[in-house]
C-alpha cells in the first residue's frame, strides 16, 4: 500500500492534510485491491486512519510537539484499534485504555498533563472527526467514549507518576536523614582509645542498616582514676534507635560526676529513660568502672547478654545485676566485682552477634570459642576475628553487631 505522502489523491493546504475526491483513487487502486483480495471497506477505513494520523502529526508539529517514533506508532495503534471495533466500542475499550496509558507513561515525565491531553486526545479527536468517516448515528457516541478512555488512561498514568515521584522524594529525604544520623552516630563513638598501661581496649559497631541502635564507649576519667566501659543495645534500628543512642550516651555520661558507684549511675540513667522515652523502646546495657591501679572491674549488667570473662580456655558469664533500662522507674541495680589478671579478656557484645544466622544462630558457645582461640592476639585483632566469624557465618546479619573487648596485658603491680 502506498504511503500517504505518495498518494495522488492527498494534498496539503496550509500545512493541513486534505483528501481529494476518491474517484481517481478508487480507479487507481481497484486492480491492486482485487489482487490482494482486501475488502474495499477495510482499505478505505485504513486509508482514512492514515489521513487522520498524518493530520494529527501535522497539528502536533505546529503546536511544537515532536512525538517520538515509538509514540507515533502507539497513536497509530490507537486509531487502528478504534477502527477495527467498527461501531462496537466495547470490543476496543480495554485495548484503547492500555495503549493510551502506555503513551502517557512515555511522555508525562517531560510533558504537563494538560498539554498531553491537548496534543494526544483533543488533536487526535479533531483529526478523527475530519478523516475517519463513520455512521453518524454511532460515531459521535463512540468518539465520546474514546475520548473518555484516553482521558482516564492519561489521568491514571499521571497519578501513578506522581505517586512514584513522591515515593522517590520521600526515599531521598529518608536517605538524607539516615546519612545525617549516621554521621552523628559515628561522631558519638570514641575518637580515641585510652592508652592505659596493662590494658588493651577495642570496640566495633557494624549497623544492620544505614544506622543502628547500638553504642559502645571507653573513657578514662583522670580525676577519679577510673576507665568507664559501656555497651548499650536499643531495641530496633534506624533513626529512632539512633536518636535514643545519643540520649543514652549523654545521660549515662552526665551521671558519672556526683555518683559514688557504677550502680548509682545506672539507677539514675534508668530513671530518666523510664520517664522521658516511649514505653515500647527498651535499652539493655552493661556498664563498668575499671580501676587500672588495682585491676578491679565493677560491672552493672542491665539485662544485657553476652557479657563474659575469659581466663585461659574457660569463659564465665557475668550475670544480670538489674532489669533492662526504661521499664521501671525505681528499679534497683547491684554490681559484680572482678579482680583481673594478665591474659584475662572481658567481652561485651550485642545479641546481634549471638542471634546472627538463618538456620541456626551463631550462639554464645561459638562466640566464646572464637575469643579463646584468638586469646593470644591483641584486643583489636580479637574484635576483628569476632566480626569476621559472625559475618562469614551469617553473610548479612539482620541486627546490629557491636562489641567491646578488654584485654589485660600485665599482672597487677
Q: What is the pLDDT of residues 26-44, one digit of tens each?
A: 333 333 334 444 456 556 7
Lowest-pLDDT range of 1-15, 26-40, 66-80, 251-265: 1-15
Q: What is the pLDDT of residues 53-79, one digit of tens each?
A: 999 999 999 999 999 999 999 999 999
Indicate the pLDDT class of residue 262, thresholds 50, 70 and 90. very high
Q: How far is Cα 25 from Cα 8, in angstroms, rounded to an integer?
A: 8
Q: Which three cell numbers stand for residue 289?
A: 568502672
What is the arithmetic mean of pLDDT over 179-202?
81
**Rounded to 5 degrees, what are φ and ψ at 203?**
-130, 150
Cα 363 vs. chain centroid, distance in angstroms? Answer: 30
Q: What letter does residue 91 receive in the DSSP assignment?
A: G
Q: What is the pLDDT of residue 264?
A: 96
CA dihedral 250, 380, 262, 401 (to 10 degrees): 60
Indicate the pLDDT class of residue 132, thresholds 50, 70 and 90. low
Of 3.60.40.10, 3.40.50.300, 3.30.470.20, 3.30.420.40, the CATH number of 189-408 is: 3.60.40.10
Ranges of each domain in the chain: 4-166, 189-408
Specify the length of the chain in residues: 413
Q: How far is Cα 391 from Cα 410, in angstroms, rounded to an integer?
A: 32
Whether this prediction's pTM lies above 0.85 is answered by no
What is the arithmetic mean of pLDDT over 145-171?
91
Letter string b/e over residues 276-313, b meaning 16 or more CB atoms within 10 A of that residue's CB:
ebeeebbbbbbbbbbebeebebbbbbbbbbbbbbbbee
Letter string b/e over residues 373-404, b meaning 16 or more CB atoms within 10 A of that residue's CB:
ebbeeebbebbbbbbebbeebbeebebbbbbb
Q: What is the pLDDT of residues 324-357, one digit of tens each?
A: 998 899 999 999 999 999 999 999 999 999 999 8
Q: Are 198 and 408 in contact (CB under 8 A)?
A: yes
pLDDT over 80 at 238, yes or no: no
The mean of the pLDDT values for the chain is 83
Q: Quote helix, strand, coil % in the chain, to nearest 5.
A: 50, 20, 30
Which residues, at least 6 apart from 158, have a Cβ–Cβ distance to it below 8 Å?
Answer: 104, 108, 113
Amino acid at each position: 500500500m502506498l504511503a500517504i505522502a505518495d498518494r495522488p489523491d492527498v494534498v496539503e493546504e496550509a500545512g493541513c492534510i486534505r483528501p481529494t475526491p476518491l474517484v481517481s483513487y478508487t480507479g487507481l487502486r481497484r486492480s491492486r485491491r482485487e489482487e490482494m483480495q482486501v475488502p474495499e471497506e477495510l482499505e478505505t477505513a485504513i486509508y482514512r486512519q492514515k489521513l487522520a494520523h498524518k493530520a494529527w502529526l501535522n497539528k502536533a508539529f505546529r503546536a511544537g510537539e515532536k512525538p517520538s517514533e515509538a509514540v507515533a506508532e502507539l497513536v497509530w495503534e490507537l486509531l487502528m484499534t478504534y477502527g477495527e471495533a467498527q461501531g462496537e466500542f466495547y470490543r476496543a475499550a480495554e485495548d484503547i485504555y492500555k495503549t493510551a496509558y502506555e503513551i502517557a507513561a512515555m511522555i508525562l515525565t517531560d510533558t504537563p498533563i494538560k498539554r498531553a491531553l491537548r496534543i494526544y486526545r483533543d488533536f487526535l479527536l479533531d483529526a478523527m472527526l475530519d478523516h475517519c468517516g463513520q455512521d453518524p448515528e454511532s460515531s459521535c457516541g463512540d468518539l465520546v467514549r474514546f475520548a473518555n478512555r484516553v482521558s482516564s488512561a492519561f489521568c491514571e498514568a499521571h497519578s501513578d507518576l506522581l505517586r512514584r515521584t513522591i515515593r522517590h522524594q520521600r526515599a531521598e529525604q529518608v536517605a538524607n536523614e539516615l546519612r545525617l544520623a549516621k554521621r552523628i552516630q559515628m561522631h558519638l563513638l570514641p575518637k580515641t582509645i585510652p592508652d592505659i598501661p596493662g590494658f588493651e581496649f577495642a570496640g566495633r559497631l557494624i549497623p544492620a542498616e544505614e544506622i543502628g541502635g547500638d553504642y559502645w564507649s571507653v573513657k578514662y576519667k583522670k580525676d577519679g582514676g577510673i576507665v568507664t566501659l559501656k555497651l548499650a543495645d536499643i531495641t530496633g534500628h534506624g533513626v529512632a534507635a539512633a536518636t535514643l543512642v545519643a540520649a543514652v550516651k549523654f545521660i549515662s555520661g552526665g551521671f558519672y560526676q556526683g555518683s559514688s558507684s557504677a550502680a548509682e549511675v545506672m539507677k539514675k540513667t534508668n530513671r530518666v529513660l523510664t520517664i522521658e522515652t516511649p514505653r515500647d523502646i527498651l535499652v539493655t546495657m552493661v556498664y563498668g568502672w575499671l580501676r587500672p591501679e588495682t585491676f578491679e572491674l565493677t560491672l552493672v549488667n542491665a539485662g544485657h547478654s553476652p557479657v563474659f570473662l575469659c581466663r585461659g580456655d574457660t569463659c564465665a558469664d557475668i550475670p544480670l545485676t538489674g532489669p533492662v533500662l526504661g521499664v521501671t522507674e525505681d528499679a534497683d541495680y547491684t554490681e559484680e566485682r572482678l579482680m583481673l589478671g594478665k591474659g584475662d579478656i572481658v567481652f561485651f557484645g550485642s545479641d546481634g552477634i549471638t542471634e546472627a544466622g538463618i538456620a541456626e544462630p551463631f550462639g554464645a558457645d561459638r562466640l566464646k570459642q572464637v575469643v579463646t582461640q584468638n586469646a593470644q592476639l591483641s584486643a583489636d585483632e580479637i574484635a576483628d576475628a569476632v566480626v569476621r566469624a559472625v559475618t562469614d557465618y551469617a553473610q548479612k546479619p539482620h541486627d546490629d553487631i557491636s562489641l567491646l573487648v578488654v584485654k589485660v596485658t600485665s599482672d597487677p603491680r
